DNA sequence: TATTTGTATGCAAAAATTTGCATATAAAGT
DNA sequence: ACTTTATATGCAAATTTTTGCATACAAATA
């Protein structure tokens, strides 16, 4: 029983739902710094939220050098069912904004890998503008 | 989004899951006093737990005199989906014990209505024993 | 080996939830 | 009208969760 409770608890939080939403909608594996920019939240907030979701079984991680890619855990049927349930209810405005910002951030990848890291927003906006103008 | 969060929160609690379990397994509408005996919990604990579940949309109530029957809300598809999901994961020991005690309590109904109310455990056990011996 | 960089985590303050008790309410029966 | 009975609720203490900061760690680079 504790296991189910842990899963429901993990999903009882706006930040964590926003994270799950981004993985569902983008279909990508994402790293902390990409989520930071998509959600406009500090690094520790993203890391902690991911930690909770990972202990509850929603994510697995893949390390690539200093980067850590989080990935929805599709190996467990309870998780798949819950994720599937969520799909129908992730339609509020906050989610959309996150998705739009993530798209711009993802556009800066090279070979579908994150290469930007944690940078001040000003520089990020500049990179995005350059990307559009070339 | 707040609505989904409220639903997940409602299910993130042992007492509340135990209650939902009894409704699922028994298939009956139940009143507070019956849940008290099935779960060996004080009246206020049951009432409060039901209150949380009701605000989250899991239950509706039907008043019959002083008795109030709670009933799983099958009119909302999200609720139905969540209830259905839960069915596969409500298999821990606590649930079974609740179910056994509920069965004995339900056996004391007349015309499928609760007539016993809140009584001390000793008297309850006596009633149950009498029931078996006649 | 020193530094940088992406991510995690320990800890204390703040906020939210739960628990227990006492009491309130509302319908029935006397 | 008064009492009894089933259920709800207000409130304070206890517990849990969240938030923010500072710092730690581990891999890469210089």
Is the pLDDT confidence value at A134 over 80?
Answer: no
Cβ contacts (< 8 Å) between A86 and chain B: which residues? 4
Distances, alpha carbon B9 to alpha carbons A125, B12, B43, B55, B67, in Å: 37, 5, 22, 11, 27
Is the pLDDT confidence value at B66 over 80?
Answer: yes
> Touching check for A4 and chain B: CB below 8 Å?
yes
From the alpha carbon of A49, which nucleotide's C1' atom is closest?
D18
Task: Tokens for B14, please give them.
Answer: 């042992």
pLDDT band at A131 (very low <50, low <70, confident <90, very high): confident
pLDDT of A115 reads 96
pLDDT of B131 reads 87
Q: How far is the CA of A116 from the C1' of D10 (A)?
A: 54
Edge-to-edge strands of the sheet including A67-72?
Answer: A30-31, A67-72, A59-64
Is the pLDDT confidence value at A20 over 80?
Answer: yes
Model pLDDT for residues A87-116, shown as the tens digit of each residue:
999 999 999 999 999 999 999 999 999 999
Q: How far is the CA of A122 from the C1' of C30 (A)?
A: 80
pLDDT of B119 reads 94
Residues 61-80 of A with CB under 7 A from strand C: 61, 66-68
What is the overall mean pLDDT for chain B? 96
Q: For chain C, which bases have at least one atom within 7 A of a protein Cβ?
A: 5-10, 17-23, 26-28
Model pLDDT for residues B1-50, shown as the tens digit of each residue:
999 999 999 999 999 999 999 999 999 999 999 999 999 999 999 999 99
CB contact (8 A) between residue A82 and residue B85:
yes
Number of Cβ within 10 Å of residue A27's Cβ equals 8
pLDDT band at B132 (very low <50, low <70, confident <90, very high): confident
What is the overall mean pLDDT for chain A? 96
Q: How far is the CA of B13 from the C1' of C16 (A)?
A: 15
From the alpha carbon of A65, which nucleotide's C1' atom is closest?
D27
Is the pLDDT confidence value at A133 over 90?
Answer: no
CA–CA separation, A43 vs B113, rounded Å? 57
């Amino acid at each position: 029983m504790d296991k189910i409770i842990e899963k429901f608890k993990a999903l009882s939080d706006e930040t964590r739902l926003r994270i799950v939403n981004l993985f569902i909608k983008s279909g990508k594996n994402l790293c902390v710094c990409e989520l930071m920019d998509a959600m406009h939240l500090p690094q520790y907030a993203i890391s902690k939220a991911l930690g909770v979701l990972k202990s509850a079984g929603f994510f697995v991680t893949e390390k690539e050098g200093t980067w850590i890619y989080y990935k929805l855990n599709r190996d467990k049927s309870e998780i798949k069912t819950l994720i599937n349930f969520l799909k129908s209810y992730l339609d509020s405005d906050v989610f959309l904004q996150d998705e739009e910002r993530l798209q711009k951030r993802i556009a800066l990848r090279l070979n579908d890998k994150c290469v930007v890291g944690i940078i001040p927003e000003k520089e990020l906006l500049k990179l995005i503008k350059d990307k559009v103008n070339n």
